[in-house]
Amino acid sequence: MTEKAKKIHIELKSGESGITSFAGLWPAVELFRKAGLPRTIDSAVGARSSRGFRDSEHILSLVLLHLSGGSAADHLPFLKEKLSFEKLGVPVPSPSALRKWLNEFHNGDEDGKRGMGKAFIPEENGYLKGLGTVLSRLFAFAVTGAPRKHITLDQDATFIETEESGANWNYKGQKSYQALNTYCPQYDLVAGTRYGDGNVPPGWKQKEELERILHNLPGEVKGVSLRSDSAGYRTDLLTWCTEGKHSRFGYIPVGISCPVGEEFKKAVRAVPEEDWKPLGKERGGKQEGNGTVQEWAEIVYVPINLGRKKHGRDYRFLAVRERWDGLLSPQKERQEEGKTESEAEAVSSPGDQLYFTEAIRLLEEEVPGVKKLHLLDLGGRVYKTFGIVTNIEDGADGGIFGYGQGDPMDGEKIIRWQRKRSGKAEEIHHILKDELGGGHVPSKRFGANAAWWTIAVLALNLHNLMKRRLLPEEYGKSRPKSLRFLLYTMVGKIVTHGRRTVLKIWTGDRGGPLFASVMKRLELLQSMPD
Tell me the β-bridge partners of 20.
Answer: 492
Q: Return all residues near 241 (Cβ < 8 A) that are at least 6 apart.
A: 226, 251, 252, 253, 254, 391
| Number of domains within the chain | 2
What pLDDT shows up at residue 329? Answer: 43
84 close to 64: Cβ distance less than 8 angstroms: no
Given 390, 407, 425, which residue is the final one in a domain? Answer: 390
What pLDDT shows up at residue 282? Answer: 45
What pLDDT shows up at residue 492? Answer: 84
Q: Looking at the structure, do residues 277 and 357 belong to the same domain, yes or no?
A: yes
Is 374 part of any domain? Answer: yes
Q: Looking at the structure, do residues 332 and 455 belong to the same domain, yes or no?
A: no
What pLDDT shows up at residue 476? Answer: 87
d(C-alpha 65, C-alpha 69), whole Å: 6
Is 268 part of any domain? Answer: yes
Distances (CA, A) of 464 to 68, 429, 474, 483: 15, 14, 14, 11
Q: Looking at the structure, do residues 382 and 494 belong to the same domain, yes or no?
A: no
pLDDT in single tens digits along all 530 residues of the chain: 456 677 776 766 565 677 888 888 999 999 999 999 999 999 999 876 656 889 999 999 999 999 999 999 999 999 988 888 888 888 999 999 999 999 999 988 887 777 655 677 888 888 999 999 999 999 999 999 899 999 999 999 999 998 887 788 888 888 999 999 999 999 999 999 999 998 888 888 999 999 999 999 999 999 999 999 999 999 999 999 999 889 999 999 999 999 888 888 889 989 998 999 998 654 544 445 444 578 999 998 877 666 555 555 678 999 998 887 665 444 444 444 444 443 333 333 333 444 555 555 655 555 565 556 676 667 667 888 899 999 999 999 999 999 988 899 999 999 999 999 888 888 999 999 999 999 999 999 999 999 999 999 999 999 999 999 999 989 888 999 999 988 898 888 888 877 788 888 877 767 788 888 899 999 988 887 76
Is 48 part of any domain? Answer: yes
What pLDDT shows up at residue 337? Answer: 44
Is 192 part of any domain? Answer: no
Q: Looking at the structure, do residues 273 and 363 belong to the same domain, yes or no?
A: yes
Q: Looking at the structure, do residues 377 and 287 belong to the same domain, yes or no?
A: yes
355: nearest Cα among 325, 375, 381, 383? 381
Global pTM?
0.86
295 close to 411: Cβ distance less than 8 angstroms: no
Is 219 part of any domain? Answer: no
Q: Looking at the structure, do residues 379 and 295 belong to the same domain, yes or no?
A: yes
What residue numbers bound the domain in which 368 lies? 259-390
d(C-alpha 73, C-alpha 100), whole Å: 11
d(C-alpha 51, C-alpha 53), whole Å: 6
Q: Looking at the structure, do residues 333 and 454 belong to the same domain, yes or no?
A: no
Given 345, 364, 390, which residue is the final one in a domain? Answer: 390
